[in-house]
Amino acid sequence: MPNLTSLNLMPVLPEIILAGMACLILLIDPFMPRHGRNVSYALSLLTLVALFIVTLMQMSPTVRMSFGGMVVNDHMSDIMKLASYISLAAVLIMSRGYLRDRGMDKGEYYMLALFGLLGMMILISANHLLLIYLGLELMSLSMYALTAFKRDDGRASEAAMKYFVLGALASGLLLYGMSLLYGVTGGQLMLTDIANALSHDSGSMALKAAVVLIVVGSIFKLGVAPFHMWLPDVYEGAPTAVTLYLSTAPKVAALAMVIRLLVDGMGNAFADWQPVLIVAVVLSLAIGNIVAIAQTSFKRMLTYSTISHVGFVMLGILAGTDVGYSAALFYTLAYIVMTTGGFGMILLLAKQGYEAESLDDLRGLNDRSPVMAFVFLLLMFSMAGIPFTLGFWAKLAVLQAVVGIGLWWLAVYAVIMSVIGAFYYLRAVKFAYFDAPTDPSPVNPDWNVRGVLALSGLLVLVLGIFPGVLVGFASRAFGGF
Amino acid sequence: MLPSSWPMLSLIVWLPIIAGIFVMWFGAGRASFARWFALASSVVVFLLSLALLPAFDTHTYAMQFVERVAWIPQFGIHYHLGVDGISLPLLILTTFTTVIVIVSAWEVIQEKAHQYLAAFLIMEGMMNGSFAALDAIVFYFFFEGMLIPMFVIIGIWGGPRRVYATIKFFLYTFLGSVFMLIALIYMYFKGGSFSILHMQQMPLTLTEQVLIFLAFFIAFAVKIPMWPVHTWLPDAHVEAPTGGSVILAAIMLKIGGYGFLRFSLPITPDASALLDSMIIAFSLIAIVYIGLVALVQNDMKKLVAYSSISHMGFVTLGMFVIFMIAANPLNIGGSGVRLALEGAMVQMISHGLISAAMFLSIGVLYDRLHSREISTYGGVVNTMPWFAAMVVVFAMANVGLPGTSGFVGEFMVILASFKANFWIALLAALTLIIGASYTLWMVKRVIFGDVQNEGVAKLKDVNKREAWMLGSLVVLIILVGIWPNPLLDLMHATIEHLAQQALTSKL
């Protein structure tokens, strides 16, 4: 039985602060004026700033264990948490106007977003099967509820239902895989113990089954094919502010889960899970890039683009090297910057009582707002992986990782798919630049949205020329370089 | 003289890009300011590139004005620039052409003029970057990045089928170059460095060389473009605005040729020697068949586009015929190899000038009558005598008349081909007939004869701006034609070294 000192609460200070603040906001919110959730909004942002500072101060390359080793804080978790805070802050800032215009500016939004973040943080730091499950469920339940946030909207409710049912199924598979793993390893729950136990496992059938189930359960949240079916419907059905939330920070947490489970826990079963991931990557890249061409909805198109991006992230993981993991993390961080901008564009083009989800709504963006059009151009080329943007380096990183382990055919396949994918990004740019606007009115003047968009465009460009900083973060997370 | 401590190449690469972003930001609604600022910055960059000439040592093949700093150490990428006798002429051609293009847009482009100029400035920087790059990823970075401004240029300011043309252009070239990226990464893992110079010295087995060569080949053949992957070029040219066509023909195609010289020949010499007959065959098909295709075009731009493909056939022929020359037992001393490579280089420079001039001339006519159809015109000489005189010079240069730059390159390549194989030289020499047919026939139909219609009767001769723009090209074309020695001196040492690299087996 661990005593109080071995609990070592300092490393989990951010989680404690967050849980406290989320509860506090929950309590304060009902006492605030009916309209405008300024206090909850301000407190949420304040919480994120506080978390950022605390995590930054605690950041160190040493591994910090708490709760008797159940919670682990290392460089990877520090960087992932910092990215999650920034990403969530961007989401909250951008969503503000959108929520207000649609009468969705309720305190629960902030509360759910923060509890979701708590789930992500637990997931990121989990070193124990149960804790992983706990974090995953806390994150997922918040996400289900947020998807259904627009209660009277049939599409959103349907999306939430779909998400919930499929998500529950995936959790069930994960749990079953974990229980098999528990059996195979002779009753180990701690990831480090599992790794030890597996080092002398001869590759039994039960282990293989556990590997497959755990891979399925953990890549579901990322939206890797063939477990991507929920993604288009949920992303399209959810209010755009929520889509923005779903598509950014949780991906970092899901990546963390994949790394913790597959690499930290089952690194010795690499030969078992690598082929599974290769199949998933091949499918993801094909589905993400080819099906996206057929979309007329910009929101759906971005969703399929997400499927292809997570396919690239998995490309880094399946390399099974530190270079590969850091490439995957780098790609994920780049993806978050790009996706924040991508879905942010929909917020920008949306008007009161009108959702700008179709590609047609992009028409003539260059005439309506040249600056935002340029940001859009950068984002699209970045997603396509063209140089001078961040996306190029992200693709280069994962390709390097894959070629580095000799899977050059997979790299060739990936680049062919990215050429196919380039088509729909180009088509989106065509709408924004080459077509005359159908609605010549100026775009949404909300400075919150514009500011974050401009920032994401700037990041894509500046990091596209000087990617060293971000690459450095990503590689330090895995102790490389 | 500028201080030698300046990072000259970085200035030449990044100054236009920064100026472009500046114009894009501050030029909105201030077209006149945007034009003057763009012109000033392009002239400054041109002068900077000229300033390299006096300091350039022509006696060495070594890279000069080298800059090298770590860029992304985790990926082993260095920001590594430098020029030699191959890249310097192309660099100056780029900076010169950009000035011309900005002048050509002066009154013509009214819609979003600042974005147009910005796109060209940014593109100039990227093109300079790919010529100056000595790190393979830096090269790829610029090589691929320049697709963005070109995509926008064709798409916004292009003709009626611009969307089709620009997406085709983008996807074609993108598909071509991604395989090169994989090849570069592969060589990084094999040799531990992305440095092009390092890759040139790296031993590679024949299988590796063939695969890497094919990856390079797809990238550069699409860019040049070689038959049968040329089909994007006529579309892109026809739909592109004048400036876009000029840059496309004068510079972007040359990057493909440059890539063969910088990557394919030195890095994969054995594969090049093995597969040379394939490239020679493609080049000859381009020269003869595409020349015949040009003959039947009704659209002037399309005609010049096909003529470009045909002329670029000489470039690839000159580059790859060297293996046959070297293998020919009758050839002693190996001067034929140098002749072929220098011919290819001169042909690139010359074609850069001539195609720019041809497209600008078509642009001058298009601005007046808004048609590129040959049948719209006829008897232009009666209303535009000065213009007609200059067009005839350009046409003669395109044909390859002695005294113009077009003659030098083609003659050198044909002469060198004779040392390889009589039939190759004969087929290549057919261009003198075919080229003359399509060019002069077009000139006859457009420029000479009686005034055909109202439109032509109302034409006004070139204004001062257009006269300067075309006139400077006339001067350069004739200058290179009668006195190519300075240009050849510039590249002698480098070509010598390249020939040695290409003919030395790595096995």
- Residue B153 neighbours by CB under 8 Å, 6+ apart: B116, B119, B120, B123, B240, B241, B243, B244, B247
- Residue A445 neighbours by CB under 8 Å, 6+ apart: none
- Residue B172 neighbours by CB under 8 Å, 6+ apart: B222, B229, B231, B232
CB atoms within 10 A of CB A24: 15
- Judged by CB atoms closer than 8 Å, whether chains meet at B148 and A471 is answered as no
Do residues A200 and A240 lie in contact, with contact meaning Cβ atoms separated by under 8 Å? no
- Judged by CB atoms closer than 8 Å, whether chains meet at B175 and A370 is answered as no
Helix/strand/coil for A288: helix
Task: Indicate the residue type of B228.
Answer: P
Q: Is A462 an 8 Å CB contact of chain B? A: no
Reported as a single tens digit per residue, the pLDDT across B392-408 is: 999 999 988 888 888 88
**DSSP per-residue string spanning B49-99:** HHHHHHH--TT--S-EEEEEEEEEGGGTEEEEEEE-TTHHHHHHHHHHHHH
- Judged by CB atoms closer than 8 Å, whether chains meet at B148 and A386 is answered as yes
Cα angle A292, B143, B174; round to 5: 25
Angle between helix B385-399 and B335-369 (nearest 10):
150
Q: What is the pLDDT of residue A174?
A: 92
Check whether B444 has a pLDDT greater than 70. Answer: yes
- Judged by CB atoms closer than 8 Å, whether chains meet at A472 and B74 is answered as yes
Check whether B145 has a pLDDT greater than 50. Answer: yes
Structure tokens of A146? 């947020």
Cα A181 from Cα A197, distance rounded (Å): 10
Q: Is A427 an 8 Å CB contact of chain B? A: yes
Category of A353 on φ-ψ map: left (φ > 0), alpha (ψ -120 to 50) or beta: left
Cα A76 from Cα A479, distance rounded (Å): 9
Q: Which residue of B has its CA nearest to A403?
A: B186
**Overall size of chain A counted in residues:** 481
Cα B347 from Cα B325, distance rounded (Å): 19
- Enumerate the residues of chain B whose CB falls inside 8 A of the CB of residue A468: 71-74
Cα A248 from Cα A80, distance rounded (Å): 12
Check whether B106 has a pLDDT greater than 80. Answer: yes
Check whether B64 has a pLDDT greater than 80. Answer: yes
Q: How far is A391 from chain B (nearest CA, A)?
A: 12
**DSSP per-residue string spanning A22-57:** HHHHHHHGGGS-SS--HHHHHHHHHHHHHHHHHHHH
Q: What is the pLDDT of residue B1?
A: 46
Give average pLDDT by consecutive 10-residue segment, chain A, 481 residues.
63 91 89 77 91 89 83 89 93 88 83 93 91 92 90 88 91 92 86 83 80 89 86 89 90 91 86 89 91 88 92 90 89 92 88 78 85 91 91 91 88 91 90 84 81 92 89 78 43
Confidence of residue B331 (pLDDT cuts 50, 70, 90): low
Q: What is the mean pLDDT of chain B?
A: 88
Q: Which residue of A has its CA nearest to B28?
A: A370
- Enumerate the residues of chain B whose CB falls inside 8 A of the CB of residue A480: 74
Q: Give percent helix, percent strand, percent coil of chain B, each to the nearest 5.
A: 75, 5, 20
Cα B302 from Cα B231, distance rounded (Å): 11
Q: Is B140 an 8 Å CB contact of chain A? A: yes
Q: How far is A60 from chain B (nearest CA, A)?
A: 20
Do residues B205 and B268 lie in contact, with contact meaning Cβ atoms separated by under 8 Å? no
Q: What is the pLDDT of residue B121?
A: 93
Tally helices (H) and strands (E) across chain B. 27, 2
Helix/strand/coil for A238: coil
Do residues A36 and A100 lie in contact, with contact meaning Cβ atoms separated by under 8 Å? yes
Which is nearest to A213 in space by CA: A251, A239, A182?
Answer: A182
Which is nearest to B398 in space by CA: B474, B338, B465, B463?
Answer: B474
Q: Which residue of A has its CA nearest to B147?
A: A386
Helix/strand/coil for A228: coil
Cα B340 from Cα B342, distance rounded (Å): 6
Residue identified by tokens 């620009």 is: B166
Q: Which residue of A has its CA nearest to B175?
A: A419
Task: Indicate the residue type of B5.
Answer: S
Q: Is A468 an 8 Å CB contact of chain B? A: yes
Instruction: Pinpoint the alpha helices (H) of B321-384.
Output: 322-327, 335-369, 380-383
- Judged by CB atoms closer than 8 Å, whether chains meet at B145 and A404 is answered as no
Strands (DSSP E) along A299-412, which ranges? none
Q: How far is B168 from chain A (nearest CA, A)?
A: 9
What average pLDDT does this structure show over B282-302? 90
Q: How far is B147 from chain A (nearest CA, A)?
A: 8
Structure tokens of A446? 């909300």
A 266-325 residues inside an 8 A Cβ radius of B:
none
Q: Is A206 an 8 Å CB contact of chain B? A: no
Q: Are strands B64-72 and B77-83 parallel, antiparallel or unpaired?
A: antiparallel
Question: B418: burial class by Cβ within 10 Å (0-12, 13-18, 19+)?
Answer: middle
Structure tokens of B122? 């940014």
Kindly report the backbone phi and psi dihedral angles of residue A146, in degrees, each rounded to the nearest multiple of 5, phi listed first: -65, -35
Cβ pairs bridging A and B (under 8 Å): 100
- Enumerate the residues of chain B whose CB falls inside 8 A of the CB of residue A399: 181-182, 185
Q: What is the pLDDT of residue A201?
A: 66
Do residues A57 and A455 lie in contact, with contact meaning Cβ atoms separated by under 8 Å? no
Confidence of residue B416 (pLDDT cuts 50, 70, 90): confident
Q: Is B115 an 8 Å CB contact of chain A? A: yes
Confidence of residue B8 (pLDDT cuts 50, 70, 90): confident
Check whether B446 has a pLDDT greater than 90. Answer: no
Between A440 and B114, residue with greater pLDDT: B114
What secondary structure letter does DSSP report for B404?
S
Global ipTM: 0.90
Reported as a single tens digit per residue, the pLDDT across B148-198 is: 999 999 988 888 888 899 999 999 899 988 999 999 999 998 888 889 988
Cα A348 from Cα A344, distance rounded (Å): 6
- Judged by CB atoms closer than 8 Å, whether chains meet at A386 and B140 is answered as no
Check whether B333 has a pLDDT greater than 60. Answer: no
pTM: 0.92
- Judged by CB atoms closer than 8 Å, whether chains meet at B171 and A381 is answered as no
Q: How far is A426 from chain B (nearest CA, A)?
A: 7
Torsion angle, alpha carbons of A182, A186, A188, A191, to 10: -80
Q: Is B214 an 8 Å CB contact of chain A? A: no
Q: What is the pLDDT of residue B431?
A: 84
A 374-403 residues inside an 8 A Cβ radius of B:
374, 377, 381, 386-388, 392-393, 396-397, 399-400, 403
